[in-house]
Amino acid sequence: MFLPISNCLFSPRRRARFYTLCAHVLVTMAGLFSSALLPGAIHAVSPASTLPPSAPLAGSSFIFQHALVLQLQQQTAAPVEIRTRAATNTVRAVRTAPGANLGAASTGASMAMSVRQKSTAFLNSYGALFGLQQPDQELILRAVQRDAQGITHVQYAQQYAGIPVFGSRLTTHIDAQGHLYAVDGATVAAAALSQFAQTPTLAAAEARQIAERAASAAADAQPGQSVALQLYFFQEGLTWGRAGPLHLAYEVTVA
């Protein structure tokens, strides 16, 4: 949750992270991310009602997504379940029945392929459903983890033009038999990011000063110094699936 700094209370802990948008400082509360798949019926991808500050995606993109949905179903041996995220005009979860490969015909997936190869093949073919234009450039591999059930989770984060998207995630799930059966996450459509200014109007030095002043003004806080700064694309409400403004923001860590 992002709140104006003036409305937040801070613990006496010395370390805190602040986010600056223009001249405003925001603070985040962590630990609110989840990638669980929820049950639901197959349905068409619908355009977002709002996607500030850019306009909703053009009709051609909407039609293209429908075509990809149909292609995915045709090239998957079992029924495909798709859940959308109206706030970002993207798909948030795709899954098929256990023992089936998602889009196996189009990706050319085989049991001999590694989990990373299967993930790459699927995302190159169907990344547009998640709003990606060039998946190989817009996704950063974060981790490959195997759980107690033998399911492997290949985890990615999103970036655009080299700038990471705050709170983004995309995970492919491959069962113990090697079937890529599900993909889920939270992404921002590259079409929206491409229309947004990629040069911050606030200098990094100013962002550091704002964060340091905010940390010093917090209750029971001692004067701190910024120790890390990162520029992000930040869409409000992304992790909750709610539509919100898109910003270019600094994350400043003060210790």
Q: How many residues does the chain have?
A: 255
Which residues touch 120 (CB under 8 Å, ≥6 apart)? 135, 136
- 1-5, 16-20, 210-214: range with lowest mean pLDDT: 1-5
Statement: residue 45 has pLDDT above 50: no
Give tens-digit pLDDT for 148-191: 999 999 999 999 999 999 999 999 999 999 999 999 999 999 99
> Which positions ≥6 away from 94 have C-beta within 8 Å?
72, 80, 81, 82, 83, 102, 126, 129, 182, 183, 184
pTM recorded for the entire structure: 0.73
**Residue 204 to residue 125: CA distance in whole angstroms:** 38
Report the distance separating Cα 100 and Cα 93, nearest Å. 16
- Top pLDDT among 14 and 79 is at 79
For residue 51, give Cα distances in angstroms to 85, 136, 243, 245, 253: 12, 24, 7, 7, 29
The pLDDT score that the predictor gives to residue 120 is 95
C-alpha span between 177 and 189 (Å, rounded): 32
Q: For residue 44, is pLDDT > 50?
A: no
Alpha helices in the chain (DSSP H): 59-74, 104-107, 115-126, 135-138, 190-194, 204-217
- pLDDT at 4 > cutoff 60: no
Give the model's pLDDT for residue 146.
Answer: 96
What are the boundaries of each domain within the chain? Answer: 2-30+196-254, 59-193
